[in-house]
Each structure stands twice: as structure tokens, then as C-alpha cells.
Amino acid sequence: MNNPRALVVGNFDGVHLGHQHLLKSLIQKSKEKNLIPSVMMFNPHPLYVLEKDYAPCLLSTIEERVYHIKSLGIEDITLIEFNKEFSQMSAKDFLKHIVYEKLNTKLLIVGYDWRYGAKREGEFELAKEMGEVLGFEVIPSTPYMVNGHIISSTLIRRLLKEGNLKDAKTYLGRDYNIRRRVIRGKSLGSKIGFPTANIEDTSNMCLKEGVYAVRVEDKYLGVANYGKRPTVDNTLENILEVHILDFNKNLYGNYLNISFLGFLREEKKFDSIGTLKSQIQEDIKKAKELFSF
């Protein structure tokens, strides 16, 4: 059997300050009880399987979440494939067969609003009752608040969609950042004098369409556009492309750490490529004035 664990279950999208508070509590309790601090996450987000039309934009990929969670000191992460079959598992079976038997959980810490099992039938009291029968402790976590706001992924998604990076940073505990792969684009940026790195898996980001000042790999300033490039080719899905200042290396296939520093302007369609080029120069000037480091 696996070594005994202290466990929290959730999606942890963004790994914001509320998540960090929960995970630090998990680590502390694990030390007190000599348990392995562990996290269970679902992939994909359950709503993408159950009600795709209502699924949220995502703050982070599974890989980004794993990175942030491990950086806090969590030793074990279990990823559960969330599919139609898994969604039909009863709350009791989930607690018995997955939480208790599969993971050998001795302590389960649950969020204040945690729901689980088929039709979200499970809640704290059921978990506590099952724990008493099977032999694991269940304790609740309290909402984590900053400036009178309960921190949640939903709150941060809204702030980013509004272009409010300042408040999003307050609740994330860091600049909003991603780590994703550079893929080949159409080289349209190079043709107008501003080569860009096209970033993979960005069509469903929680960002307002527009132009941003960004920090790349913690050392380069850049200007990024998130949207459909209406002046150039008007794509069907949103694309994130980053022009890195004072940089001319080939990045195809590499992963880049990109931190969003500030929202510069909304995306718009220009009358000509020349007008677009002039605006990009203004965007770069503004980014340097506000965020040079």
C-alpha cells in the first residue's frame, strides 16, 4: 500500500493565494502527523466533460499548475482523467475507492465549498462520516480573504478578462504568468519588422484581447498581442504572439516563461500595415517607459 497521505482535492487553476494558503496548511498538518503532503487534480476541468458550453477559460495548464504546486513543497500529485465514466462515480465510491484505498489517505483537507461525486452529491458532512467509518480524518479549510474578497479562480478570471492585471497580481501573489511552447506561425510579424514568438495552447486564455507589456524568461521586456490580428489575417481563434525586445534568436520548440506586466491597449483593426507598424512602435515605447527593468 502507498505511504499514508494528507490530501487535498481540487482543480487549483492559477494556484492563487487561496490555493497557496490551503497547500501550506496541508504541508504543516502533514509534518505534524508524519504524512506525505499530496494533491489530487482532475484533467480536463470537469465542466469540459459535463457542460462544455459553460466551461471557464483557464488560468493555467496542468503542467503550470504542477510546477507551482511542487514549488510550494507538495511531494505527490495525482492526476485523475476526468471522463464521462469517472463523472458517474458516486461520492461514497470516490471517497472509499480513490481517496482511501487507492491513495491511502489518513487526512483529507477539504475546501469550504468542495463538492464531489456524481451530480456533485458529496459535501463535507458525508466526507466526515465516511472518514469515521473507514479511518481517515476530515477537516475543513476556511475561505482565504484579501481586501475583503474571498480569493477564487473565478475572481481572477474576471479581473484578467477586464485587463486588470494589478488586482489579479494581488490575488495570485505574483504577476500572472504562463510557461508554454513556441510554435511556428506565418512569420507575419517578421515581414513588418517585428518578429514574434507564437505561443501554443492560448486560444482559451483568460485575457482581455489587446496588447500587453510582458517579461520573458525573467530578463527580457516584450510586447504581446492577444487576439485575432484583425489588421493582418483575422484569425478564427485568439492567438498570443510575443515580440521580445533586443532579441533575435530562434525559439521554435522552446518553452518560454511569460509574465504579464500591464495592459497597454485594446486590439483594433488599422487602415494599413504602415499605421499598424507605427502603433507597435508606440506600444514598445510605452512598455519601456512603464516597465523597464
Give the H/E segment covering residue 127: helix 124-134
Residue with cell 533575435: 248
| Cα separation values, 65 from 58, 122, 140, 285, 293, Å | 11, 25, 22, 33, 27
Cell numbers placing 87? 463523472
| Ramachandran class of 271: left when φ > 0, alpha when ψ lies in -120 to 50, beta otherwise | alpha
Sequence-ordered list of residues with C-beta below 8 angstroms from that of 138, at least 6 positions apart, any chain: 107, 108, 109, 110, 124, 127, 128, 130, 131
Distance CA 76, CA 82 (A): 19
User: Considering 63, 241, 266, 267, which one is annotated as catalytic?
Assistant: 241
| Consecutive H or E run containing 273 | helix 273-291
Active site residue 241: yes
Indicate which residues carry an active-site annotation. Answer: 241
